[in-house]
Amino acid sequence: MKFKKSLSYIVITFILFNICSYTVFADDKNSSFREPNINARCAIAMDSKSKVIMYQKNASELVPMASTTKIMTVLVAIKYGKLDEKVQISSRSAGIRGSVVGYKKGESITLKELLYGLMLRSGNDAAIAISEGVSGSVEEFVKLMNEYASEIGVINTHFKTPHGLDKEEHYTTAYDLAVLTSIAKNNTLFNEIVSSKDVDGPQNGFTRSYHNINKILWKIPDANGVKTGYTGKAGKCLVTSTKVQGNDVIIVVLNCPRRWEETEKIYKYVDKNFKFNKLFSKGDKALELRVNKKDLKLECEDDVIVPIKNGFKCSVKIIKPQRIKYSVNKGDRIGMLCIYEGDKKIYSTSLRASNSIKVKKFIKWIF
């Protein structure tokens, strides 16, 4: 195996025939283990790629989400809509209350421009127009939102609107919002939109220019998104994406009166107390098994980079099948690589076969 030099490779042992493990330590310099006292009903900090949680407070509590809803709205629109098609603003869109861009009834706006109005200006009128343009109605669009949420594993969230104004049965959790945002961050257009501070209308072929109301883009230099929100029931909300040691970290605060300051506090805590460690590179051999008198090599599908708290012990365990009696093709997923902090699993990923091995079944060989 290849290991980063800064990690301490202690020992390899075999446990219960099908698990092998070894231990690594994070650098303990400049450690400050005290978690910040965050004035928010719910909060979380999650590494966007590995989904490792670095801070949480009531992260699984079901709460209203206000305009952070629009993260899902833009994702569904990108997936199902045609960006260059124009949408005519309806009376329902032009008459919506709350935060709006100011689109007028009868205006024709491209779906792409509506996405900028949705995320930079938090336009509820943009949310209605997008829904009608993509699905024909708000109600049908919301069905797509809930279907997509189930598809990507955001299971403790339910949508009733595309904009997030208070409504019964419209809720999420800080954890779900962080997972949703981490998935959204894989989309190039989403990143382009939410990281924009100002968008020039004429230069982009839009009907108007847009200024981003998300102050976190100015408050944290490495911030690159994502979305603000506020309603009477939800309170002030903020979902942030920011670089920490070159890695995207998602920070969510819900019902948080001082959302800018509390988000910055979490960001500083994560940056000071965690170190991102590259345990494996894509293609590294994690384990070798003997199958049909041949060597089967299991490798990592991608780089394994996880944040480890300064001074904490982290163990890596590889779970493998006890015996393989079937043919294996290159690329087949076999076994799991798991990372534990103490007894708590913080990360897992599948391993894949880096070579093929054919196994002839006895009955087939006879015939």
| H or E element at residue 261 | helix 259-273
- Residue 4, pLDDT > 80, answer no
User: pTM for this structure?
Assistant: 0.89
Give residue 22's pLDDT band: very low, low, confident or very high (50, 70, 90). low
Express as a percent the part of the chain with pLDDT over 90. Answer: 77
User: Tokens 């949705």 map to which residue?
Assistant: 118
pLDDT tens digits, 89-99: 999 999 999 99
Secondary structure percentages of the chain, helix, strand, coil, to 5: 30, 30, 40
Give residue 362's pLDDT band: very low, low, confident or very high (50, 70, 90). low
Phi and psi at 38, nearest 5°, equal -100, 125
Domain ranges in the chain?
A: 13-28+279-366, 57-230
CATH of domain 57-230: 3.40.710.10
Q: What angle do the packed helices 111-120 and 124-135 form, to 10 degrees?
A: 150
- Classified by CATH at the fold level, domain 13-28+279-366 comes out as Peptidoglycan synthesis regulatory factor (PBP3), Domain 2 (2.60.410)
pLDDT tens digits, 252-296: 999 999 999 999 999 999 999 999 999 999 999 988 888 888 888
Q: Residue positions in the annotated binding site for substrate?
A: 227
Question: Which of 4, 21, 11, 16 lies closest to 337 in space, CA to CA?
Answer: 21
By annotation, the residues acting in catalysis are 67, 70, 122
Give residue 2's pLDDT band: very low, low, confident or very high (50, 70, 90). very low
156/175 Cα distance (integer angstroms): 9
Cis amide leading into 226 (omega within 30): yes
pLDDT tens digits, 300-352: 999 999 999 998 888 999 988 877 878 888 988 999 999 998 888 999 999 99
